[in-house]
Each structure stands twice: as structure tokens, then as C-alpha cells.
Amino acid sequence: EPEVTQTPSHQVTQMGQEVILRCVPISNHLYFYWYRQILGQKVEFLVSFYNNEISEKSEIFDDQFSVERPDGSNFTLKIRSTKLEDSAMYFCASSDGSSGANVLTFGAGSRLTVL
Amino acid sequence: AQSVAQPEDQVNVAEGNPLTVKCTYSVSGNPYLFWYVQYPNRGLQFLLKYITGDNLVKGSYGFEAEFNKSQTSFHLKKPSALVSDSALYFCAVQEEDTGRRALTFGSGTRLQVQP
């Protein structure tokens, strides 16, 4: 069964450092998403990406965040200058957009720890 | 704005007994509703969705959910729980006809099935 893959599975970084989280969505999917889950809290929407541009973003997705699809297969989330509160599990998801009801397929997540 | 509430942080049930995990939602228009399950160290996996029509929808692993428009609820149910059903369950909503594709998730309910 096709799956969304994410790397790294766990990254530890110092506050103020830049981090790039990588995702390979399902190959025929058109919509890509990043969500995050702070430990013990809800899964929060960050951003969606379609046709090589951001289609939606939440209030969380401020100027320190950016997304990119650099090569037609990878989908990346960059955090420019990490803060302690960025520590969370980051999930990438994709969907094919074939119906209005949007079934997302999620990756296993990348755990980011900011020290 | 759309939102989802899962009023129980944890549900405990004995193996073989029926289980219910509660979810209520809030949207301006008509909802698409989803249930996802998360096993330890894994991403969210799609269980089932409600789009329109029959209020009782069936999904993976014997789960079903009942849509109740008057109570704005979408409770997850299973007639006979298994120990392997123990996991974190998330309800999510997407509002129909807005063009928004991002799902809004609840805070999750941990289901513990005791042998």
C-alpha cells in the first residue's frame, strides 16, 4: 500500500537553529499538508500546498515557517529559527483531491526537540 | 470557524464489550466528518468518513460511527472491543463547500481495552 514517508524520525536541535523536515507524499497525490502535535495536545493544522503554492495556512504558520516542493517528489517544512515551543511531532499528509471529502494519508511523523 | 470536541481524554472498556468514543463538532455549513486512529509511534490512520446520506457509516476494523445532525455529534462505535483496538482516536471535521481542504482535529481520546 502506498505510504507517506518522513525524515528524520527524530531531530534534536538548539534554539535558534534552522531545521528542515522532509516528506515524500504518495506519488499521485496533489495536495500536501503539514500538521503538528505538541506532546499530549491536539493535532494542529499548519499549512496546505497545491499546485506549487500555499493554498491554506493557519495562524501558527508564521514567517519562521516555509514550505517547498523542490523536486517534484519531496515536500519540505523549514523552520528558520527554532524556539523551545516548536518542540512537537510534525506530520506530513497528502491527499488526491478526488472528492470534496478530503481523506488524508499521514506519515509516521518527525519528532523535533528544541533545546 | 470549525471546531471539534472530544469530551473524554480516556475511555476504558473490557474486551468483548461495546465501545463508544464521543465527538461533537461545530461548523457553519454542512460537515464532512472523519475518524482517525493513531498507534504508538505511527501516523494517523483513516478509519471512516461521513459525507452525506445514511447516518450510520461503517469503516475499517469493525468500527462504525453515527452522524446526528441535531446533536452535532459523530460518535465512534464498535460492538465488541478488542485489546488491539487500544490506541488514540481523533475525530476531524471539514466544512463542505468552502473550498477549504484542511481538516480540523479534536484533542483525541485514548481508548484502553482491558483483557
Q: What is the pLDDT of residues A3-26, one digit of tens each?
A: 899 999 999 999 999 999 999 999
For B83-104, what is the mean pLDDT? 90
Beta strands in chain B (DSSP E): 3-5, 10-14, 19-21, 24-26, 31-38, 44-50, 56-58, 64-68, 73-78, 87-95, 104-105, 109-114
Tens of pLDDT along B99-108?
A: 788 899 999 9
B56 to chain A, closest Cα gap in Å: 17
DSSP-derived letter for residue B30 is P
Task: Say yes or no for a CB contact (<8 Å) between B108 and A42.
Answer: yes
Residues of B with CB below 8 A from A108's CB?
A: 41-43
Q: Provide the 3-class DSSP secondary structure of residue B20.
A: strand
Cell digits of residue B41: 509511534
Task: Say yes or no for a CB contact (<8 Å) between B44 and A33.
Answer: no
Task: Say yes or no for a CB contact (<8 Å) between B103 and A109.
Answer: no
Task: Say yes or no for a CB contact (<8 Å) between A31 and B45.
Answer: no
Residues of A with CB below 8 A from B90's CB?
A: 43
Q: How many of the other CB atoms lie within 10 Å of CB of A52? A: 8
Q: Is residue A54 within 8 Å of residue A47, measured between CB atoms?
A: yes
Cell digits of residue A102: 478530503
Q: Provide the 3-class DSSP secondary structure of residue B88.
A: strand
Considering only CB atoms, B41 lies closest to which of A42, A56, A108, namely: A108
Q: How many of the other CB atoms lie within 10 Å of CB of A41? A: 11
Amino acid at A107: G
Pairs of CB atoms within 8 A across A/B: 64
Reported residue count of chain A is 115
Beta strands in chain A (DSSP E): 5-7, 10-13, 19-24, 31-37, 43-50, 53-57, 65-68, 75-79, 88-95, 105-106, 110-114
- At residue A71 the predicted structure's pLDDT band, cuts being 50, 70 and 90, is confident
Task: Say yes or no for a CB contact (<8 Å) between A43 and B108.
Answer: yes
For A34-62, what is the mean pLDDT? 92
